[in-house]
Chain A
Amino acid sequence: MATQAHALPATRKPFLAEALDWITTVDHKKIGILYLCLNFFFFILAGVMALVIRTQLAWSNLKIVDPDRYNELFTMHGTTMIFLVIVPIWAGFANYVLPLMIGARDMAFPRLNAFSFWLLFFSGLVMYSSYFFGTVPNAGWTAYPPLTADANALPGIDFWILGLHLGGLSSLFGAINFIVTTMRLRAPGMKLTQVPMFVWSMLVTSFMVLFGTPMLSVAITLLLADRHFGTSFFLPAGGGDPLLWQNLFWFYSHPAVYIMILPAMGLVSEVLQTFSRKPLFGYSFIAWSSVAIAVLGFSVWAHHMFQVGSSLAVNTFFSLATIVIAVPTGVKIFNWIATMWGGALRLEPPMYFAIGMVTMFIIGGLSGVMLGSVPVNWQMHQTYFVVAHLHYVLFGGSVFGIFGAFYYWLPKMTGFKLNRSLGVWHFWLMMMGFNLTFFPQHIAGILGMPRRIYTYAANQGWETYNLLSTLGAFLIAVSVLVFIINFFVSARKAEPAGENPWEAPSLEWATSSPPPEYNFAQIPTVSGQNPLWARPGGAADPSGHGTH
């Protein structure tokens, strides 16, 4: 594997030519960076919305925003975080690193890849253009009809439907591309059972997208028809059924949780083994637990519907399926701990975030089991207990994973190292801010505080928990600021990262940082799971186990 001295062009292209180059690019690395920039922009936007939400709820009877604005805020915060940040940002990372990790020159369908990105771009544009038309989506990210079936009362839902359609297609095309790329373009010698765990996670995730997303598209198309073409799919007056929406919507939207968390789990697997200098413990168990989660993930959607009065049998089935998902999830967690056991841990920022992700995800998983028990769900559903739970999974799990991925792969993408000490600060501030924000929400929920309320009465005993939560939210904002500062400070300092700054075992580290357009001068030949560790000289694995 050649070390390509990546020669920077001596002269910069004029701005317009540079911009045109980025707009028309079909290079997976540039598309990956476009994704990451777009998703990070929306992350900041959704974060600012969260700060306004938290400020409004800091105490009882506040009037920072009026009810309609508040309802728009929590709708757009949720929709943005799910459909414009967490789901697609993994497509962004995978775009950049997946072809490199399997030793390919690009994605299987580069033009389709660019198309996926631009669909996402317009998805965001359509969704946010609602602010210019003054009709912002305002029915929560779940948009339950009959409330949303009335196009006159809630005109903004059309922007939500259209945006989701574009985002859904983007996600779908991306999934097809990742599946074909992984199946067809692996370097010679790399078996499907030896791909890096992040690649495997993206493969499983892509199959989930493939099966789930069409259902969401169907649901929102029917909703559009109910709104504008006089149909009654969800309207009982015309013979329709509001619960049909809940079934269709959650058939996608529960698996969506795993679409958001499985890539984070893949990232954690990569980082833990790299920074423990020790191969992943139980590779095949971790790999197959992802498949088990994906399969079970499609049979738990009605746990979002325990309060609609289903029969004992239906509730029992979905409760059991939900609780059983904790088994493959537990397998992952135990294997991660075993990966670190006996290792030589280097505590670098990616490792902090990976360990942080596991510690927080355990909490989210345990509250998930609690919510999977039907009677407990009857009490806790639709309260802040659920808000806390979902943020422990999606922030403590996915977002910690996302920042782990940034610290891990940014040196590869940019060619410069990130400041370690600022990275560690970012981690601890975010860890404190996150727990300060979301732990008290469990208690508020147990004390009966419902979600999606723009205000609450005094004397309910909720103020203290909400105030803590608000303070925590601002601490998270500070931590993200530290990350942004770190990026620019490090860019200015421009300390070269080198080919493989973390002494990691997978192929993306076998080329220059950033890699040349063609990725590898010569496509590497691989045997074993951890090719770079098996290489003479590059081995953290002197016994040669990496070649198995």
Chain B
Amino acid sequence: MKSAVSTRWWLTFIVFAVVTIGAVAALVWASVGQPEPTLGACPPACPYEFRLPSTLLPASDEAGSINFLFMMILVLAGIVFVVVEGALIFTVFKFRNRPPETALQIHGDTKLEIAWTAAPALILFVIMGFTLRTMSEVRGPATGQVLTVKAIGHQFWWEFRYPNQNVVTASELVVPVNTTIEVALESVDVEHGFWAPELFGKVDAIPGYTTRVRFTPTSVGRGEYGGQCTQYCGTQHAQMRFSVLVKTQAEFDAWVAAQQQPAPAAETLAGDVKAGYDAFLNPQNACVACHQIDGTTAAGQIGPNLTHVGSRAHLAGGILANTPANLAAWLRGPQDVKPGNKMVIRKLDDATINSLVAYLTSLK
């Protein structure tokens, strides 16, 4: 371009750029500087530190296959990109600003048309072939050792049930390494999407359907992989998270054995813990309307099963680290921590909250 771009315009541009960057930076700075108001009592590291998820760091056979396919198509697309954009930009530079009478008056060329119809078709059929292979590899029937798990979507948290082990938990899918995990997905309310980028491609949980996905973790690795709801499901869709904890077979067996135990009997409790137990079962506090604790009379079916809530690393749909301070903040005002979530609780006094925290954290 040989437009006469004056200094005036450079200056205007620089001013605009500085103003925009400044405005955004100021907004971000203002927001970042604010401490979390509802979690004021919590040290900075308190909100659950989500692990960096990435489809580029596969930790299962299935995610590995997809990553290979992705990389292959990316390379092909990259070559096509360079060739086509190169041809386009070269043409623009070569023929720009030439005298009008030099323009060729041609209307087409059938041979060329056939060539540039056939060449992309060829590349696309190669891609399709690899696609088909990977598709059956990733979602075909499982071989070897299989663990069946049911994942049930709720607004806005995931429930995990192990039908053969008789274990129920929430927000954390605990699985043994080198075993194929077959997840059957259901939903109790609206559509949700189930995805842990390092482990498997996403599948929706659809009311009225049971959908399936499987994955085979190849190593314990970091041990924990982030996951998140991927189908818009309402106000708190953004904070419907979960994690997959990959354990050795021995660790997994021990975890299952622990989870199969009911909560300690009332007679064994004392002090704050006993007070919390009483508060939990007090119908006026309404905890039991939604929550179940095996071994007690609490049998609500709406919220997460809390029998072993103390053993979990996260709270509130995978968004908070399970610390006494976070739990207290949650009980004080779940709508302040995660506005729009489905937990309703009446205003409790501090003593009750402290005893509830003591009781719930004791449920290992």
Contact = CB atoms under 8 A, between A and B. Distances in A.
Contacts of B229: 450
B124 A362 contact: no
B127 interface: yes
Interface in A446-482: 446-448, 450, 452-461, 467, 470-471, 474-475, 477-478
Given A375-B201, A380-B55, A467-B28, A326 B207 contact: no
B136 interface: yes
Nearest to A479: B16
Interface in A338-393: 338, 340-347, 352, 355, 358-359, 362-363, 366-367, 369-370, 373-383
B208 A375 contact: no
Interface string A213-250: 00000000000000000000001110011110000000
Interface string B45-81: 0011111111110000001011101100110010011
Contact of B340 (A67, A341, A377, A457): A67
Contact of B98 (A240, A337, A344): A344
Given A59-B31, A448-B53, A457-B319, A309 B204 contact: yes
B257 interface: no
A29 interface: no
Contacts of A374: 131, 135
Contacts of A373: 69, 73, 127-128, 130-131, 134
Contacts of B73: 369-370, 373, 376
Nearest to B112: A338
A459 B24 contact: no
B53 A447 contact: yes
Contacts of A424: 1, 3, 5
A344 B24 contact: no
Interface string A480-520: 00000000000000000000000000000000000000000
Contacts of A477: 20
A238 B106 CA distance: 63
B144 interface: no
Interface in B202-249: 202-204, 206-209, 211-212, 226, 228-239, 241
A10 interface: no
A146 interface: yes
Contacts of A146: 189-191, 207
Contacts of A341: 91, 95, 104
A330 B121 CA distance: 10
Given A147-B190, A330-B116, A425-B5, A375 B131 contact: yes
Contacts of B238: 67, 452-456
Contact of B97 (A338, A345, A363, A475): A345
Interface stretch (A35-43, A180-188, A279-287): A279-287
A454 B117 CA distance: 43
B99 interface: yes
Interface stretch (B82-90, B292-300, B345-353): B82-90
A505 B74 CA distance: 41
Contacts of A312: 135-136, 139
B265 interface: no
B62 to A, nearest CB: 9
Interface stretch (A195-203, A315-323, A408-416): A315-323
Contact of A323 (B113, B116, B128, B340): B128
B50 A459 contact: yes
B101 interface: yes
A16 interface: no
B126 to A, nearest CB: 10
Nearest to B96: A345
Contacts of B124: 323-324, 326-327, 369
B80 A140 contact: no
Contacts of A235: 207
A381 B139 CA distance: 17
Interface in A291-322: 307-309, 312, 315-316, 319-320
B1 A345 contact: no
Contacts of B63: 379
B77 A369 contact: yes
A283 B108 contact: yes
13 contacts: A59-B32, A139-B232, A146-B207, A326-B120, A341-B95, A344-B102, A373-B130, A375-B134, A379-B70, A425-B5, A448-B228, A452-B238, A455-B239
A-B pairs, top 7 by smallest CB distance, nearest first, are A378-B201, A236-B208, A448-B53, A309-B211, A453-B238, A342-B104, A448-B197
Interface of A: 55, 58-59, 61-64, 66-68, 71, 139-140, 142, 144-147, 153, 235-237, 240-243, 276-285, 307-309, 312, 315-316, 319-320, 323-324, 326-327, 330-331, 333-335, 337-338, 340-347, 352, 355, 358-359, 362-363, 366-367, 369-370, 373-383, 420-421, 424-425, 429, 446-448, 450, 452-461, 467, 470-471, 474-475, 477-478, 540-543, 545-546, 548
Given A450-B230, A458-B47, 13 more contacts: A67-B235, A71-B235, A236-B209, A281-B108, A284-B108, A335-B113, A343-B104, A375-B138, A378-B202, A378-B203, A452-B238, A475-B20, A478-B17
Interface of B: 1, 3-5, 9, 13, 16-17, 20-21, 23-24, 27-28, 31-32, 34, 36, 47-56, 63, 65-67, 69-70, 73-74, 77, 80-81, 84-85, 87-89, 91-92, 95-109, 112-113, 116-117, 120-121, 124, 127-128, 130-132, 134-136, 138-139, 189-191, 193, 195, 197, 200-204, 206-209, 211-212, 226, 228-239, 241, 319, 339-340
